[in-house]
Amino acid sequence: MILTRDYKETIRARVQRDPAFKEALLKEAIECLLAGDVGTGKSILKDFIKATIGFEELSRIVDKKSESLIRMLGPKGNPTANNLFQIIAQIQKQVGVQVEVNVVR
């Protein structure tokens, strides 16, 4: 039997050791959201949060229950734009990664 690492643990380890990967993961989440692929964007954002500050810390910062945040970013979750942008803003602030939007023609 081949032993493999859990996907979530692999993401967490890579984010911790590779700052470029951490930046790329957050960028990918936001790009998916902006492109209308909300399900994928929320899923990546959820992985990013778990690998960085965690939902307990984020809930304290944004003053929302961690369970509510997890539900918002789950497959059936439907966060308001206000909640989603507040989450992204606080993640960038806490993790020290700033994503910029560029116009491409």
Question: Looking at the predicted structure, is the pLDDT value of residue 1 above 80?
Answer: no
Judge whether residue 7 has pLDDT over 90. no
Residue 105 to residues 27, 102: CA-CA distances in angstroms?
A: 19, 10
pLDDT confidence bin for 8, thresholds 50/70/90: confident
Q: Could you tell me the two tokens for 4?
A: 């493999």
DSSP states along 59-99: HHHHTS-HHHHHHHTSTT----HHHHHHHHHHHHHHHT---
CB 17 within 8 A of CB 47: no
pLDDT digits (tens, 9 = 90+) for 22-66: 999 999 999 999 999 999 999 999 999 999 999 999 999 999 999
Q: Which amino acid type is present at position 60?
A: R
